[in-house]
Amino acid sequence: APMPFVSVWCCSDKLCPCGERLQGQLGACLKTRSNLSSRLRPCGMKLTFPDQVWHVELLPLRRQLYILCAGNGIYCVSLDQLGSQAEDACPSSVFPVDADACIVPDVTLCTFTLLNDVLVTLSQAQGQWWMKLHVLLDPDQESQPCRQISQVGFSTCDQTGDDGDALSSHFLPVLCCASAPGTAGPGEGLWCSGGFTLEEPLFSLLFGIDAAMLDSPMILCGFPDGQLCCVPLKALNSSEAVDACSEVAGQVPPVKILHHLEEPVVFIGALRTEHKAPDDPDDQQLFGDSGCDCVVVVGHYGKMVAMKAERGEEAKVPEVREYYLQGPILCAACGGGSRMYYSTHSDISAVDLDWVSNASDPESIDNTAYVLPPVLSPASLSICSVVALSLSSRASEGDSELLALSAKGRLMSCDLCSPDDAHPIRLTPEKAGQRIKELLSGIGNVSERVSFLKKAVDQKNRALTSLNQVMNVSAALLSNQDGRKPVTCTVTASWSRLLLRDTWAISCMLENSSECSLEQGWTLCVQLFTSSCAFDEDSVDSATTFTFPIDQLLPGSKREVTLPLGSAEGTKLELPLTVSCALFYSLREILDSASDSYESLDDLLPDGSPGLSPDKEGICLPLSKCTIDILQCLRLDDSTVPGAPPSIATLSDPVETFLKVSRVQSDPSSVEVSDQLLPKAPDALGDEYLPPSVASIKVSSELLKNALKSFCEATYWAKERVCVNALGPCLPLRAVRLGLGTWSVPTDPPGQGLAPPVWKPGAGIPFLLPLLEPIQACCSGVASLLGQSVGSPPLCLGKSRQPVSCWAVGNARTHPLLCISLSKWLCEVGWGGTIGVS
Amino acid sequence: MAQRLHPGGRARSGERSRPRGSKRARREAPAGAGCLRAWTEENDGLAGGWRASRSSGPGRAAQQAARRCRLAFDSLLRKIQGLPAALPSLSLELTVLYNSLLFAVSESDGLVEGEAERINHGLIRVLEACGVSGQDLSTEELWQKVLQDVTTEELCAPLHRLGALQGAVWLAANCLGSVTGLFRLLSDTKGPLPSAHGGENELLALLKAWSVPVEGDTSPLVVQSTKDLKEILWTSAAFLQGLQGLEAGNLPTALSLLQAAASGFCSKRVLAQIYTCIGCCTQQMGKPQTALQHLKRALQVDFQCLSALSQAALVYRQLGETDAELEALALLYKALETPAQEAVSIDPCFLIRTELLVHTPALASLFSRSHPSEVKYLLAQRCLQAGRVGEAVEHYLDLLALLQEGPQHQVPLHGRSALPRIPEVFLEAASALEQLGRYQDAIAVCEEIISRTDDLIPETLRIELDSGAGGEAPGRAGSPSPGIPPQQRESLRCIVWRAAAYLHQGRAWARLGESKEAITRFTRCLNVLLRVQLVSAASIQSSEEMAEALPEAKVLQKIRLLALLGRGSQFQELGRDKEALMNFQHSLQVCPGDPAATSHLLRALWKLNRRQEAAALWQKLHADAAPADGQQEAPGRCVRPYPLYLVSCLKQVNLPHDESLARSLQDYLRTSGQDP
């Protein structure tokens, strides 16, 4: 999917690079969650972050931008620095964000908020939410960018449970700051984006008298499980276990649960529902002295809660009223007025919580004054697919401007006139022109909406057709569990010659023997796992996935894909390799146009529909899985003829050939076979031409693990191993003339250490010897081994022709596996993957 | 069997008898043993390097060095464990595992699960090498099997070393049982030690009895010697058990264990903690002087041990030595103002330290750093209680300023904090100001409370008292009574605070001579109090029962009494004696038999020339006074004290004994022939 903000920034180039006007837009643009790498591009320059950007805040005081990057932490970028960088750079340049700019490296961070020089973060760790308070330090004086002051734990997130995990992972908690009036003077005011000032009775009623008397701002926190908690900023500490319900020794615990919404909280804001006297000069300022008188919290599925101070005679409690709007709500915004704007996929709606203004009877005003309306009637603005909203006030005109960012990346600005002057009295020519402009813009909006809806219908039709096909294929594949699958994928590994280089490649043959064709949208995924050695616990399996889109695969047809894995002298291969093939159908593909599909998919597949991966990516049908070992990439390479070009040795499996040769040699009667297979076999050349053959084999640890397993079952192994272990570390190679036979140790210690154990040939089990040699020694050791043994052939190889094999096991990572097979030839130890006869 | 085949003439069987010789033999081993030798050299090199570097002392460099060492040991261990376990290399492997774990434990600080897992893996490999399967066994069973089945002498030392480390891991997880079991196995004793008689602790005896394996020159180097580890284990075990005893209230045992721990091997910081714990213990045993001695020692050892200071303040308070207590608190506040010293995370000499092994909630709560605002409050409160009004005012004003500071100064509002609710702090400050004669300031402080509570109190607050609520122990101050919703309770508290604020304002105005203002405030106070309607169930009859069910009710009553008396007195000042009389009568209704109310009324009656009534009242007062004197101070009844902000009002409301009035009353009684 294209990134929503790339196009946004195309239009934002026109705006001034920094300053107040940009704030809201930056915030609006970046609060969207994109699936791709996230980019921020101020002033025509893009900043890239290592992962999704989850939250952005601007600290105008310091002219700094704080950006929360998922799984990384909070980055701090100076606007001035960005500006100077942007001047130097060409407009489309992309800068990766400096790793040093990460001031709070914490992978568990979910959200944060800023209040002047205080940074409040919320992270999730150990089944708990942790709110931490940091103080931003002056970078000129301190070595660290910030210092943690205190923290408090919320034990709320364990309530989400198993099924809640998938749910809550979609949603981030929401943090915001509420302050009491008078805590901030006009000049050095407490600055907090998304924060609000609450009118006095409400503040004390909601948060308690202690917070009010401490003049402490409150941090409000909406969790994905629906809880709305608050904690005073000045008392962000807790004794070891926060029990939000208990009240000890007359103390009210600092963390207080205000409400439980039972659905993910997407927005916390505040409204002013009561009108002030119009002649009050303070009214001009939307965030006047007394602030807002109603807190609203919006949940994703449409539940909205409004909290307001009740004017009842009985015990003073905040009035809490729940409303149900049409969900799913993506975002919301409110300014200082009584209206809240919220966006679903299809529309922006406004709800007005000022109920009194509708009442005509002055008597009833007194009685029902200051009560929340019983029902809300949302008014549509007919703007669809808006993913971020921001309300900026224009103090001079008294009304406000709604900035909306659509999923396509269009940034829209809507003028919201106040309800009083909704009917313009007279149209002057200028106003008429303005009005016509507005109408045209409105028509533009409507036509965009129409085209959007039409497209959506088309998409859904197409999607249904595709889905039908997909279901057919899936049913055919999944219902046929035991028999042959109608769609198969065969994996073979072979050496091939590509561009004058020998390369080793995996080819996958996809065969469709079903009745339905595989249409566009299907992808063949070949996943290569290099599973590391079983002995190495810390090792991490790495996987590479190759995807091949299938345009169309008609019934009965085949398609082959080849994956070159490496050349003979090229990069090392980590073996064994597990190849797993699967057919994947991306559900996003169904919806064709990817930019809109982001939301459409959400509409199509409601949350919690079963059988889909948690992120609703698509349908995955596993086809086959096989393991490719080094033995499969052995190649018999006839390099004895100098100058002869290396050929693709044999058509048959090289491993098979190799093993056959070994077998042949153990049986003198079948020399012919051996000679046939290897025309230049030493015997054919006579004794004087008996060059020691060198083979290079790498054996996968998997194989050996299996071998070990079978050995362990035999008591033979356990017993023998002890002796060999004792031999192991100091045994020179001469003693390692083992073979397919059994060892027996003389019962009487011979006195000198060099007395070899007696070996009885013919038991038929290759002997495994843990050779305690580190890797360096291995490599050099091999050389010396060769020098020693090859130079003096008369080991026990000569006439007896016993295939002597000795296996040494090593950790595939720390000591590449050592496998020596001493037959008539001495096989070298190495990693090249070829067998050469020298 | 393992020793039979040793090419190169390395007869291992002779190793123990002549360790030095064998070392030479091994060092000269042929190149064939390269791998084992190379590994040993790598281990020795790393351990030697670490040992050499630790002279540089703790710090960031040491921490980085430790991290590097851990990574190096880890990778060496991975190399070794990449191969199937083999007996000749096991000794080295276990040593490398031990070294690597030492760094890991030291770095992780909290001893995470991973360490235990790695020990398990090591043990399974030991069993594997001996041809025994160790799958599906718990760690305890693994140890048992390993120590019983593996008889190879070479492995004895590394296994014991690893055992000590396992003990450390278990201690850190507070698994004392497992540690005891392990050391029973290690010291090869089946049952409890014979020496472990009643007095001595079994684990400590086992630890003491455990003989540390001899680390010959042959063995691969270790980064922390097992002897040190044993000492640290012993200290930690004693400390941990002492703490547990302290928690369980088993004081004599705890004391002896803690004293043992103090004699052990530990850092200054831990020693100071141990002394502080001994101080707590002895204090609880009723030996405050001994406690003080220990707390002083704790501070001598480590001045950063601030909880020793706060404990000392507590002990001084118990002893009634206010000067010393205040001094201790002032020192504590001063120390808290300087930022906390970062705990040294890595001490290069001792990777495993007692700090890492002893974690209990009791320790954490005892040594949690108190907040400056808490200490400031304690200072202010104690000064006020001791009657040092001037100092108290200074402290209260400092505290109020501290509370208004930004979020960098956190205010503890949680349940364990010494700080009461914020309005009470303000009220106490007002009370102190008033006592000092700064009446205008007191009025201003009260005004703050009044304005804050303005919107929080309802017109009427109807609280139904349940008889079930009365069963509460009176000692637990402020614990919520069942049956009263918290919302109502909070409203009630707000009413109490607001009324108290008005009361203080009235008194301040009265002192300023503004009787009319004072009367207004007292009236407002009474009006606020009138909003509360306590509806008691039939079972609650007396005011005492009521007060027990709802402690605020008693305070409420007292404030009403004080306001009525105050208003009455002001009326008297203005010469409106009849209104004064009504107020006094009213106050006596609120608190029947209250001596202050009675004497006020008596005087008012006398002044109005209603001598007969006055005489009757006087007689009644005298009749009541005799038994009441004894009753009032009766220690058997634990009376919940009045809030600190009311104490001075209660003291001052009592009229000085008026000798002339008494004489004239007696004269009157004599003349009317009613002399008692």
Q: Would you state the pLDDT for residue A492?
A: 81
In a domain, A284, yes or no: yes
DSSP assignment letter at A292: B
A577-586 and A558-567 strand pairing: unpaired
Reported as a single tens digit per residue, the pLDDT across B460-501 is: 888 877 644 444 433 333 444 456 777 888 888 889 999 999
Q: Domain total for chain A? A: 1
Give yes or no for B455 touching A (CB within 8 A).
yes
Query: What average pLDDT score do residues A3-19 get?
Result: 28
Give yes or no for B339 touching A (CB within 8 A).
no
Whether residues B5 and A727 touch (CB distance < 8 A) is answered with yes
Reported as a single tens digit per residue, the pLDDT across A554-589 is: 888 888 888 877 654 555 566 667 888 888 887 766
Range list of H helices, A324-428: 362-368
Reported as a single tens digit per residue, the pLDDT across A476-522 is: 887 766 667 788 888 887 777 667 666 777 888 888 888 888 887 78
Whether residues A745 and B5 touch (CB distance < 8 A) is answered with yes
- Closest partner residue to A200 (CB to CB) among B10, B88, B455 is B455
Distance CA B387, CA B389 (A): 5
Q: What is the mean pLDDT of chain B?
A: 77
Q: Which residue pairs from B285-288 have beta carbons closer than 8 angstroms and sit at least 24 positions apart in sequence?
A: B285/B251, B285/B252, B285/B255, B288/B315, B288/B318, B288/B319
Determine the distance from the C-alpha atom of residue B434 to the mean position of all C-alpha atoms in its chain, rounded to a whole number: 34
Whether residues B415 and A316 touch (CB distance < 8 A) is answered with no
Report chain B's C-alpha Rg in angstroms: 37
- Closest partner residue to B35 (CB to CB) among A150, A248, A729 is A729
Query: What average pLDDT score do residues A765-786 get?
Result: 29
| Min distance B446 CA to chain A CA atoms (Å) | 12
The answer, yes or no, to whether residue A729 has pLDDT greater than 50, is no
Give the residue from chain B lying closest to A316, CA to CA. Answer: B458
Reported as a single tens digit per residue, the pLDDT across B236-282 is: 888 888 888 888 888 888 888 888 888 888 888 888 889 999 998 89
Q: Would you state the pLDDT for residue A596?
A: 46
Distance CA A809, CA A807 (A): 6
Whether residues A253 and B414 touch (CB distance < 8 A) is answered with yes
Q: Would you state the pLDDT for residue B343?
A: 55
pLDDT band (50, 70, 90) for residue B547: low
Give the residue from chain A lying closest to B74, CA to CA. Answer: A538
Distance CA A587, CA B326 (A): 73
Whether residues B2 and A726 touch (CB distance < 8 A) is answered with yes
Higher pLDDT, B567 or B542: B567
Interface subset of B 369-408, CB within 8 angstroms of A = 371, 403-404, 406-408
- Closest partner residue to B83 (CB to CB) among A242, A732, A810 is A810
The answer, yes or no, to whether residue A405 has pLDDT greater than 50, is yes
Q: Which residues of B touch A725 (CB under 8 A)?
A: 2, 86-88, 129
pLDDT band (50, 70, 90) for residue A253: low
- Whether the ipTM is more than 0.90: the answer is no
Q: Which residues of A touch B131 (CB under 8 A)?
A: 718-719, 721-722
Reported as a single tens digit per residue, the pLDDT across B311-351 is: 888 889 888 888 888 888 888 888 888 766 555 555 666 77
| Min distance A577 CA to chain B CA atoms (Å) | 19
Q: Residues 6 or more apart from B444 whose CB is under 8 A from it?
A: none
Strand pairing partners for A334?
A340
Q: Would you state the pLDDT for residue A151?
A: 80
pLDDT band (50, 70, 90) for residue A714: very low
Q: Which tokens in the block code for residue B509?
A: 């105005």
Contact B469/B543 with Cβ under 8 angstroms? no
The answer, yes or no, to whether residue B502 has pLDDT greater than 90, is yes
pLDDT band (50, 70, 90) for residue A609: very low
Q: Would you state the pLDDT for residue B500?
A: 92
The answer, yes or no, to whether residue A69 has pLDDT greater than 90, is no
CATH number at A268 reads 2.130.10
Interface subset of B 105-134, CB within 8 angstroms of A = 121, 129, 131
Q: Residues 6 or more apart from A804 whose CB is under 8 A from it?
A: A737, A738, A739, A740, A795, A796, A797, A822, A823
Reported as a single tens digit per residue, the pLDDT across B34-64 is: 567 778 888 888 888 887 776 666 666 777 7
Whether residues A236 and B486 touch (CB distance < 8 A) is answered with no
Going by C-alpha positions, the residue among B130, B383, B358, B364 that lies closest to residue B240 is B358
In a domain, A178, yes or no: yes
Higher pLDDT, B85 or A753: B85
Whether residues A777 and B487 touch (CB distance < 8 A) is answered with no
Whether residues A212 and B365 touch (CB distance < 8 A) is answered with no
Reported as a single tens digit per residue, the pLDDT across A430-461 is: 777 888 888 888 888 888 888 888 988 887 88
Higher pLDDT, A374 or A781: A374
pLDDT band (50, 70, 90) for residue B552: confident
pLDDT band (50, 70, 90) for residue A629: low
Reported as a single tens digit per residue, the pLDDT across B94-143 is: 888 888 888 888 776 655 667 778 888 888 888 888 777 777 788 888 88
Whether residues B414 and A251 touch (CB distance < 8 A) is answered with yes
In a domain, A190, yes or no: yes
Give yes or no for B83 touching A (CB within 8 A).
yes
| Min distance A745 CA to chain B CA atoms (Å) | 9
| Min distance A200 CA to chain B CA atoms (Å) | 8
Distance CA B385, CA A291 (A): 41
Q: Would you state the pLDDT for residue B544?
A: 63
| Min distance A380 CA to chain B CA atoms (Å) | 37
In a domain, A161, yes or no: yes
Reported as a single tens digit per residue, the pLDDT across B624-645 is: 665 544 444 444 444 567 888 8
Give yes or no for B225 touching A (CB within 8 A).
no
- Residues spanned by the domain of A325: 108-425
- Closest partner residue to B487 (CB to CB) among A133, A235, A315 is A315
Query: What average pLDDT score do residues A640-652 get?
Result: 36
The answer, yes or no, to whether residue A13 has pLDDT greater than 70, is no
Give yes or no for B662 touching A (CB within 8 A).
no
Query: What average pLDDT score do residues A414-428 get?
Result: 56
Q: Which tokens in the block code for residue B607?
A: 């002044």
Q: Would you state the pLDDT for residue B417?
A: 76
Query: What average pLDDT score do residues A98-109 get?
Result: 82
Query: Which of B1, B37, B83 is the best substitution to test chain A (most A C-beta atoms within 10 A)?
Result: B83
| Min distance B365 CA to chain A CA atoms (Å) | 8
Q: Which residues of B touch A247 (CB under 8 A)?
A: 415, 480, 486
Query: What average pLDDT score do residues B393-417 get?
Result: 82
Q: Would you state the pLDDT for residue A527?
A: 83
- Closest partner residue to A772 (CB to CB) among B83, B407, B457 is B83
User: What burial letters (b/e) apply to B417-435, b meaning 16+ CB within 10 Å?
Assistant: bebbbbbbbbbbbbbbbbb
Reported as a single tens digit per residue, the pLDDT across B341-386 is: 555 555 666 777 777 777 777 777 777 777 888 889 999 999 988 8
Give the residue from chain B lying closest to A147, CA to CA. Answer: B408
In a domain, A496, yes or no: no
Query: What average pLDDT score do residues B576-602 get?
Result: 84
Whether residues B479 and A209 touch (CB distance < 8 A) is answered with no
In a domain, A682, yes or no: no
Q: Which tokens in the block code for residue A66?
A: 């704080």
Share of chain B above pLDDT 70, in %: 80
The answer, yes or no, to whether residue B503 has pLDDT greater than 80, is yes
Q: Would you state the pLDDT for residue A327?
A: 76
Q: Which residues of B touch A816 (CB under 8 A)?
A: none
Give the residue from chain B lying closest to A120, CA to CA. Answer: B407
Q: State the amino acid at position B193 in one-letter form.
A: L
Q: Would you state the pLDDT for residue B22?
A: 39
The answer, yes or no, to whether residue A607 has pLDDT greater than 70, is no
pLDDT band (50, 70, 90) for residue B90: confident
Q: Would you state the pLDDT for residue A537?
A: 46
In a domain, A405, yes or no: yes
Higher pLDDT, A767 or A362: A362
| Min distance A205 CA to chain B CA atoms (Å) | 7
Whether residues B411 and A235 touch (CB distance < 8 A) is answered with yes
Distance CA A779, CA A776 (A): 5
Q: Which residues of B touch A721 (CB under 8 A)?
A: 84, 131
- Closest partner residue to B8 (CB to CB) among A201, A217, A730 is A730
Interface subset of B 412-441, CB within 8 angstroms of A = 412-417, 420-423, 426
Q: Would you state the pLDDT for residue A487?
A: 84
Q: Which residues of B touch A749 (CB under 8 A)?
A: 4-5
| Min distance A284 CA to chain B CA atoms (Å) | 26
Q: Would you state the pLDDT for residue B52?
A: 79
Chains A & B: contacts with CB separation below 8 Å: 244
Terminal CA-to-CA distance of chain A, rounded, Å?
56
The answer, yes or no, to whether residue B543 has pLDDT greater than 90, is no
Reported as a single tens digit per residue, the pLDDT across B511-521 is: 888 888 899 99
Whether residues A757 and B413 touch (CB distance < 8 A) is answered with no
pLDDT band (50, 70, 90) for residue A281: very low
Token look-up 């002001």 returns B570
The answer, yes or no, to whether residue A683 has pLDDT greater than 70, is no
In a domain, A603, yes or no: no
Distance CA A285, CA A670 (A): 103
